[in-house]
Amino acid sequence: MQDSENITRELGEKIVVVLKTIYDPEIPVDIYELGLIYDVFVNESMDVKILMTLTSPNCPVAETLPVEVEEKVKSLDLVNDAEVEITFDPPWTQELMSEEAKLELGML
């Protein structure tokens, strides 16, 4: 049991590393630090579900960004499958950004 928990946790950490390589094209900060990732779920079969949002419903990358996230997460060795679900509840606000992102954008 402990081994599967360790593997799941390690996979979660690898997923975060991958998410930090994906950038919102309008803001020079990765989607993880922007606070666009609400949750990452990994089940026993190593299927990954990512709950995320966009900076706005009219985001110009609304069609392509979720696909990029899915493809990059699926590229990890341990991942069996990946699915991205977009939600606007709660809506994204600048409050969700990490301190690092706010600093990068000169907001601190």
Provide the CATH number for the domain around residue 30.
Answer: 3.30.300.130
3-state secondary structure of 46: coil
Helix (H, G, I), strand (E, B) or coil at 33: coil
pLDDT tens profile 39-80: 999 998 999 999 999 988 888 888 999 999 999 999 999 999
Question: Does 99 fall in a domain?
Answer: no
Domain membership of residue 100 (yes or no) is no
For 28-38, the pLDDT digits (tens) are 899 999 999 99
Residue 2 has pLDDT above 80, yes or no: no
Strand 47-52 and strand 81-86: the pairing is parallel
pLDDT of 104 over the 80 cut: yes
Whether the CB-CB separation of 47 and 55 falls below 8 Å is answered with no
Work out the mean pLDDT of the chain and round it to a whole number: 92
pLDDT score at 54: 93
Task: Round to whole Å and give the CA distance between 59 and 88.
Answer: 12
Tokens representing 14 are 């690898």
Number of Cβ atoms within 10 Å of the Cβ of 69: 24
Tell me the three state secondary structure of residue 84.
strand
For residue 72, what are the domain limits? 2-93
Burial (CB < 10 A; 0-12, 13-18, 19+), residue 83, is: middle
- Per the model's pLDDT, the better-predicted residue between 76 and 24 turns out to be 76
For the chain, the domain total comes to 1
* Predicted pLDDT at 27: 84
Q: What is the predicted pLDDT for the residue at 84? A: 98
| 10 in a structural domain | yes
Residue 44 lies in a domain: yes
Cα of first residue to Cα of last residue in the chain, in angstroms, is 43
pTM summary value = 0.91
